[in-house]
Amino acid sequence: MESSTSRPRVGVMRVLVVEDEVHLGEAVRDGLIGEGFDVELVADGQLGIDRGKDPTFDVIVLDILLPKKNGFVVCEELRSAGVMTPILMLTAKDGELDEAEALDTGADDFLRKPFSFVVLVARLNALLRRGQRTVHEVLEAGDLTLDPGSYRVHRGEVVIELTQREFSILTVLMNAVGQTVSKADLLSSVWGDSFEGDPNIVEVYIGYLRKKIDQPFNRRSIQTVRGVGYRLDPSSE
C-alpha cells in the first residue's frame, strides 16, 4: 500500500509520513489518526518530495532509508525549494552521524528507531507549536484571507469551505499575489513533479475556486493570463 489519505478537516493538523516499511508506516498513520491528526502516508523519497511541497501539511515525519531518494536528499530538496514545513526525521538506533546529517540538511528534530509512539506524538506537538509561531502566517489579498494554521479561508466575515486541492492552489496564488503563476508551477506545487495526468486539471480547479471565492461575492480576483497561467488580483471587481 503506497499511499493513504484521510479526508482533510478544517482545523485538523495535517501530517505527511514518508516511510517505506509498510507495517511501521501504517501503524504510525493509524495511531496519529487515532490522536486526531489528518495523515497521508507515502512510501518513497520522490513521493515525499512531491507531496512535501503541499503547503497544507503542518509537519512531515521522514525516514532516512527510502526507495528512489533517501531522507537526507528529500529534506535537502524540500528546503532548497523553499518548503519550511517542520520535519521530524527517523534515524537509526545508533545513528549519531545520521542525526547530525539530518540537522545539517534542514530537519527540525529527529527520533531514534525503535521509538515510543507517545514520544512521537509529543515531538510532533512540540514542532507544531513551534511551527504555528513561525510558519503559519495568515495570507491576505484584499478582504480575502487564508490561514494555513487553521485551514480556514474567509472573504470578509464569510467562511469559505475549500477542498484540500483548492486550498493548496489558493495558497500558492496568495503567496504570489499580483504575480502570474504558470500552470506548470501550479501542477508541480500542488500535484507534484511526478503527476502524469491531464494538465488541464488546473483549469478545472481554478473554475472550482472561482465559484467559491469570486462568483458569490461578484469578484474576479483570479485572472487568467493567456498562454502563461493565473494571477490573483485583489483589486479586481
Within a domain: 237: no
Mean pLDDT in residue range 109-118:
87
**Per-residue pLDDT at 133 exceeds 80:** no
Claim to verify: residue 128 and residue 158 sit in the same structural domain: no
CATH of residue 97's domain is: 3.40.50.2300
Q: Give the pLDDT band of residue 193 (cuts 50, 70, 90).
A: low
The residues, any chain, with a CB within 8 Å of residue 6's CB and separated by 6 or more, are: 33, 38, 39, 40
- The count of structural domains within the chain is 2
Residues 11 and 126 in one domain: yes
pLDDT band at 237 (very low <50, low <70, confident <90, very high): low
If 0-12 CB within 10 Å is exposed, 13-18 middle and 19+ buried, where does residue 40 land?
A: buried
In the predicted model, is pLDDT for residue 155 greater than 60? yes
- From 87, 109, 134, give the residue that closes a domain: 134
Q: How confident is the model at residue 95 (pLDDT cuts 50, 70, 90)?
A: low
Q: Are 14 and 56 within 8 A, CB to CB?
A: yes
What's the CATH code of the domain at 220?
1.10.10.10
pLDDT at 128: 79
Does 180 share its domain with 215?
yes
Full domain range(s) for residue 211:
139-232
In angstroms, the CA 221 to CA 216 distance is 12
8, 117: one domain: yes
Whether 83 and 39 map to the same domain: the answer is yes
Is 92's pLDDT higher than 90? Answer: no
Name the band, by pLDDT with cuts 50, 70 and 90, for residue 2: very low
pLDDT at residue 10, as a whole number: 36
For residue 156, pLDDT beyond 60: yes
pLDDT of residue 103: 78
pLDDT band at 99 (very low <50, low <70, confident <90, very high): confident
Mean pLDDT value across the chain: 84
Q: Does residue 5 register a pLDDT over 60?
A: no
Last residue of a domain, one of 108, 134, 160: 134
pLDDT above 90 covers a percentage of the chain that reads: 45
Q: Would you say residue 150 lies in a domain?
A: yes
Question: Which one of 103, 134, 165 terminates a domain?
Answer: 134
pLDDT digits (tens, 9 = 90+) for 7-46: 333 346 889 999 999 999 999 999 999 988 889 999 999 9
Residue 188 banded pLDDT, cuts 50, 70, 90: confident
- Residue 160 lies inside a defined structural domain of this protein: yes
pLDDT over 70 for what percent of the chain?
87
Q: Does residue 214 lie within any of the structural domains?
A: yes
Q: What is the pLDDT of residues 60-75, one digit of tens each?
A: 999 999 999 999 999 9
Same domain (yes/no): 85, 98: yes
Asked whether residue 128 falls in the same domain as residue 167, the answer is no
**Residues 214, 108 share a domain:** no
For residues 61 and 17, the answer to whether their CB atoms sit within 8 Å is: yes
21 and 111 in a single domain? The answer is: yes
| Same-domain pairing of 66 and 144 | no
Residue 33 shares a structural domain with residue 108: yes
Shared domain for 71 and 48, answered yes or no, is yes
Contacts of residue 230, defined as CB under 8 A and 6 or more positions apart, other chains included, come to: 173, 180, 181, 183, 186, 206, 222, 223, 224
